[in-house]
A and B are shown apart, each in its own frame.
Chain A
Amino acid sequence: MDVIEATGLTKRYGETLAVDDIDFSVAAGQTVGLLGGNGAGKTTTIAMLLGLLIPTAGTIRILGHDMAHDRFAALARMNFSSPYVALPQRLSVAENLRVYGHLYDVRHAGQRIAELAAELDLTDLLDRPAGQLSAGQKTRVALAKALINRPEVLLLDEPTASLDPDTGDLVRSWLERYRAESGCTILLASHNMAEVERLCGHVLMMKRGRIVDRGSPADLLARYGRDDLEQVFLDIARDRVRETVA
């Protein structure tokens, strides 16, 4: 069963076509990577999926809800994390999580916050203002916020950007474990090819607003005759696409 279905999705800003008639679906429990260079349309696509941005054309259904008419029913069952969207800096970690516990109407929010704090190693940081945290700590808090409502669909925009390798690995391990335990569906936009290879069962390659290729990491490697996704990414970004590739 497809949890995310995007059909003919298009976003135009005046003369600029940010997303150009893309179709894709994500099956329940799958982790899909959205790859592409800067300006490829990844963030625009995620913003449309979240209802932050109204598409110029096309339809989006998430968890069976049409996002044009019934987005709040879907939003209650999904969540989002991005290092580019902040949490209030003067609120403590616990206060921030309490706010989102209320906004998502989480039952037994205090217990949920304690669980997340223990799992993401945030217990000692709960009383600290969010503005005083390191980049790695902020990422873990953002992830805790994204998981506060036990989402069935998780949209992540560069979840490990600006993290050191150790913290990045911890976050990736945690995401793998969460998906395995909860069956959550994850759509992940990233520039980190190793991360995508590790986490994603399926990859959508975007360029200039279009999906130019798709498949499992293994399929893409085989199709481009490359050893890693970074080389595939460069082939696509620099138009070094082999003749055999459609």
Chain B
Amino acid sequence: MIRPSARRIWGLMYRHLVLYRRSWPRLLELAYWPTLTLCIWGFTASFFASRVGSAGAVISGMLLGGVLLWEITLRSQMGVAISFLEEIWSRNLGHVFVSPLRPWELLAALIAMSVVRMLIGLLPAVLLAWVLYAFNVFTLGPVLILFALNLMAMGWWVALGVVSLILRHGAGAEALAWSVLFALTPFSAVYYPVAVLPEAVRPLALALPAAHVFEGMRALLEHGTIAWGHMAWASGLNALWLGAAGVLFMVQFRVARERGALLTIGE
């Protein structure tokens, strides 16, 4: 049971991996935006640091840490959504869904591909932050793994929502694959604390796991303490949102099968 499932998941991953193996522009595109964003924020942080004095190093770390960690969410979300869109663009969904591939295996393959894409995309930015701005994200310590896992999970459930909307509304909804997470950025408290936000929108921010991760990151950089309460909130909220997004996907997958959308979705 495990072996055929693993093989089907690998089969779908292989289909995407061979494209990256063959095309360096595709690989370059993965690293392009994270590196560019890091450069812009890196110079901005350097400018602030030079003006603020001794507190500048902490502020600079918060900004660069925010940039790098938020890219984990962005790349994870796009990794799932764009890998799914690749199947639509190649009009291959009909073949994929008449194979014995289960929907959960499809999601597992998309998530695995998002991890690969995120690692390839983020590695140059992490190295650049270290070389150009003397910011080593790994100094955050082992809790960095918790931060990263929570931010990846948030990217996945947002992507599941996007994929569900594509199943419901067709390729017309594909622009969401690039844009939806940017709409959540102001509420995710990436570069500033939740307390800075207007009181009315704070509940929205606190409903997002990312806001808790970034509050935790700032506490660690500023006070050297791990905010376990925020970590628990982030993990709990991710479990809740992942569950809800999973249900939404299964409902929309069934609706797509009722409407015959799996054959016509790319048209």
Interface string of A48-80 (1 = CB under 8 A from B): 001111100000000000000000100110011
Q: How large is the interface on B (under 10, 10 to 19, 20 to 34, 35 or more residues)?
A: 20 to 34
Which chain A residue lies CB-closest to B267?
Answer: A84
Nearest 10 interchain pairs by C-beta: A102-B11, A85-B94, A103-B99, A76-B100, A86-B91, A88-B90, A105-B4, A103-B11, A50-B98, A99-B15
Evaluate contact between B100 and A51: CB separation under 8 angstroms.
Answer: no
A90 to B86 Cα, complex, angstroms: 11
Is B14 an interface position by the 8 A CB rule?
yes
Which chain A residue lies CB-closest to B262?
Answer: A52
Evaluate contact between B94 and A91: CB separation under 8 angstroms.
Answer: no
Cβ-defined partner of A88 (8 Å) among B3, B8, B15, B23: B15
A95 to B92 Cα, complex, angstroms: 14
Evaluate contact between B102 and A86: CB separation under 8 angstroms.
Answer: no
Evaluate contact between B92 and A88: CB separation under 8 angstroms.
Answer: yes
Interface residues of B (CB under 8 A from A): 3-4, 7-8, 10-12, 14-15, 18-19, 22-23, 86, 90-92, 94-102, 254, 257-260, 262-263
Evaluate contact between B12 and A99: CB separation under 8 angstroms.
Answer: yes
Instruction: Enumerate chain A residues within 8 angstroms of B102, measured Cβ to Cβ.
Output: 72
Instruction: Enumerate chain B residues within 8 angstroms of A105, measured Cβ to Cβ.
Output: 3-4, 7-8, 100
Number of A-B contacts (CB under 8 A): 92
Is A82 an interface position by the 8 A CB rule?
yes
Is A101 an interface position by the 8 A CB rule?
yes
Query: A50-B98, A101-B11 in contact; A87/B258 too (CB < 8 A)?
Result: no
Evaluate contact between B14 and A85: CB separation under 8 angstroms.
Answer: no
Evaluate contact between B19 and A91: CB separation under 8 angstroms.
Answer: yes
Could you list 24 examples of A-B contacts with CB < 8 Å? A13-B259, A51-B97, A51-B98, A52-B94, A52-B97, A52-B262, A54-B258, A76-B100, A80-B94, A80-B95, A85-B263, A87-B95, A88-B15, A88-B86, A88-B92, A89-B90, A90-B23, A91-B18, A95-B15, A98-B11, A99-B11, A101-B11, A102-B10, A103-B11
Query: A105-B8, A105-B100 in contact; A47/B260 too (CB < 8 A)?
Result: yes
Closest Cβ–Cβ distance, residue A99 to chain B (whole Å): 5
Which chain A residue lies CB-closest to B90?
Answer: A88
Instruction: Enumerate chain B residues within 8 angstroms of A44, measured Cβ to Cβ.
Output: 260
Evaluate contact between A102 and B97: CB separation under 8 angstroms.
Answer: no
Closest Cβ–Cβ distance, residue B53 to chain A (whole Å): 53
A51 to B259 Cα, complex, angstroms: 12
Instruction: Enumerate chain B residues within 8 angstroms of A80, measured Cβ to Cβ.
Output: 94-95, 98
Main secondary structure of the interface of B (DSSP, over half): helix
Cβ-defined partner of B15 (8 Å) among A53, A86, A91, A104: A91
Cβ-defined partner of A104 (8 Å) among B86, B92, B99: B99
Instruction: Enumerate chain B residues within 8 angstroms of A86, measured Cβ to Cβ.
Output: 90-92
Which chain A residue lies CB-closest to B18?
Answer: A95
Evaluate contact between A75 and B99: CB separation under 8 angstroms.
Answer: yes
A145 to B258 Cα, complex, angstroms: 26
Instruction: Enumerate chain B residues within 8 angstroms of A99, measured Cβ to Cβ.
Output: 11-12, 14-15
Cβ-defined partner of B99 (8 Å) among A47, A88, A100: A100
Which chain B residue lies CB-closest to A55?
Answer: B258
A211 to B258 Cα, complex, angstroms: 22
**Central interface residue in B8, B18, B86, B254, by most chain A CB within 10 Å:** B18
Evaluate contact between A75 and B100: CB separation under 8 angstroms.
Answer: yes
A82 to B264 Cα, complex, angstroms: 13
Evaluate contact between A90 and B19: CB separation under 8 angstroms.
Answer: yes
Which chain B residue lies CB-closest to A86?
Answer: B91
A51 to B14 Cα, complex, angstroms: 25
Instruction: Enumerate chain A residues within 8 angstroms of B254, measured Cβ to Cβ.
Output: 54
Evaluate contact between A85 and B18: CB separation under 8 angstroms.
Answer: no
Cβ-defined partner of A103 (8 Å) among B3, B8, B23, B262: B8
A100 to B97 Cα, complex, angstroms: 12
Evaluate contact between B260 and A53: CB separation under 8 angstroms.
Answer: yes
**Central interface residue in B10, B95, B254, B263, by most chain A CB within 10 Å:** B95
